[in-house]
Each structure stands twice: as structure tokens, then as C-alpha cells.
Structure 1
Amino acid sequence: MSRFPLLLSVACAMAMALPAPAPAQEKVPHVIVAIYHIAPGKQLEFLKWMAAREAIDREAGVGATQWYAHMNGDSWDYVAISPDIDDATSDKLDEMARKKGLKIGAPAGLEFRQMVASHTDTMAAGPLTASQMVDRATKP
């Protein structure tokens, strides 16, 4: 029983030392960063496939994908940074693609995989400047 006041004092001191919950920060858009390794001889077919889908995105008002073509260095062929869309927008894009005769769902995935040796998709927050990231990391 003699340790109880000491433990209570330590617990109170620790609780006071914990940081207060941070207020909600402004929402930063999420993007999908995709890195593509294209199957040999399939570069133009891949770009045309993506351009057809990009046209539908544009028609639907979805933000443009930023494309980067490999020039030197690592082994990737293309990097794309595109907006992360919600399920309703994805469904709308599928319907628009279907009306234009483009494949969607599993058939589109199989068609896509004939052109791509490998790819990765990564969810990221941004765009942000380094200063904005410091502010987000250091402000409560």
C-alpha cells in the first residue's frame, strides 16, 4: 500500500507528459504512383491503351495523369502519377469505357497484362513541398 501514492504520482506525471491529440490537419489529396516495366515490343500498344482510358478520364472530369518516360538510370519504362478516385467515379469510368467498346474488369486486366512485364502501384499523399511536409510533421 505504501507504493500506491508513488505509482499514482508517476502515472499522473506520465499522463501530463503525453502530447495532446493533434487537431485535424487539412486533407491532402491522395495519388497513385505507378511504375511500369513494359513487355518487349509493346510500348506503343501500351501507350495507346492508356491514352484511350485517359480520354475517358478527361471526358468524366477526372484529373489528368502525369506521365514520365524513362531516359536513363533505373530499369522502369514509365511512371504515372494519377488521382486516387472513389468507387462511384470508378464505376462511372467503367460504364463510359464499356460504351466506347473498351474492356473493363478482368478482361481489361488480362489485356493490360499482355503489354506489361511488371508494374507496381503505390498510394501517396501529395503533391506537397518539402516545407509543407515539415509543417505537417511538426505542428500539433
Structure 2
Amino acid sequence: MTLRLLTAAAAMALAPITAQAHEDPDAVPKTTDVLVEIYRIAPGKHREFLETIAKYDEVNARAGLPPRQLYVHRDGASWDFMLIQPAKTPEGKGPALDAAWEEMGLPSGPDFFFSFRSMIAEHSDTFATGPISAADYLAKAAN
């Protein structure tokens, strides 16, 4: 499952939803469940981490999926990189992702864990729903 979460990318665009994007102003926009991963990278491993993520994004491309969203720290908190991607692999894409992973010769199982974690000092995973405005989220609530 970790492999699929790391290789899955947006099944739909995760661009911010705005009022102008609504064809029906009374409609509540569809949202996506996403996985937000925040990483603090081990010293000297930043380039290696980004090169690894680029390989995972190549797996996505080979499977017909877009890359995960990457955010790079500029100032403030102690994180280095944040990734946002769907919480689940899109239906029917699992076999293509697995095949692309294998074609690229990327590690799996315990070898995946050891190689990926060698670059990470600390990380957190959070599942979220969005993007959505506060008003649209409230509209989804039972009255």
C-alpha cells in the first residue's frame, strides 16, 4: 500500500476551486481525498530525495498519471518538502503503476523502506479533503 500511495498521483487536477469555476453557483464542488506528506530531509540528501521523487513521478507518467504536487520550503518552519497526491490509487491504475515501477528497477519491500528512509530525518503523513472553500464545506454539512 505504501508503494501505491507513493506512486499514485492526482487522478484529477487539484487546482484551487473558485466561485468562477462553478457552472451552477448553487452546486457544491467535488473534492478529492489527498495525502499530504511533509518531509525534513537528512543532511546532504536533498538532491537525492528530489531525484528519487522525480523517478516516482516518471512511474506515474508511464502509468498515465500526472506527477504529485511538490512544494519546496523557502522560509519559516523546519520542513524541506511537501508532497500532495491522491489518498488512493485511481481505480484500474494499480497494475500499470506496478509494471512501471518494475520496469524502472526501483526497490520494493524492505529494500524500498531502507533506501527511501535513508534520505529522511523526519516526516508526517496527513489525509485531507480538498481543495474546498469554507462556505462550500459547510454546504456539505447536514443542516
TM-score range with shorter-chain normalisation? Answer: 0.7 to 0.9
Q: How many residues matched?
A: 115
Determine which of 118, 124, 133 is the counterpart of 1:129: 133
How far off is 1:88 after superposition? 5.6
Q: Which has the higher helix share?
A: 1
Structure 2 residue runs of 5 or longer lacking an equivalent are: 1-27
Distance 2:73 2:116 in 1: 20
Instruction: Quote the residue 1:45 is aligned against.
Output: 48
Instruction: Quote the residue 2:118 is aligned against.
Output: 114
Q: Which has the larger radius of gyration?
A: 1
Determine which of 72, 77, 81 is the counterpart of 1:78: 81
Determine which of 108, 122, 126 is the counterpart of 1:104: 108
Instruction: Quote the residue 1:34 is aligned against.
Output: 37
Distance 1:88 1:116, change over 3 A: farther
Please tell me whether the aligned partners of residues 42 and 119 of structure 2 are also in contact (alpha carbons under 8 angstroms): yes
SS in 1 for 2:83: strand
TM score, norm. by length of structure 1? 0.72
Distance 2:66 2:134 in 1: 23
Of stretches 103-112 and 78-87 in structure 1, the one that deviates more from structure 2 is: 78-87
SS in 2 for 1:61: coil
CA RMSD of aligned residues (A): 2.1
Please tell me whether the aligned partners of residues 63 and 83 of structure 1 are also in contact (alpha carbons under 8 angstroms): no
TM score, norm. by length of structure 2? 0.71
Please tell me whether the aligned partners of residues 63 and 82 of structure 1 are also in contact (alpha carbons under 8 angstroms): no
Distance 1:35 1:126, change over 3 A: same
Of stretches 105-114 and 34-43 in structure 1, the one that deviates more from structure 2 is: 105-114
How far off is 1:27 after superposition? 6.0
Identity of aligned residues (%): 37
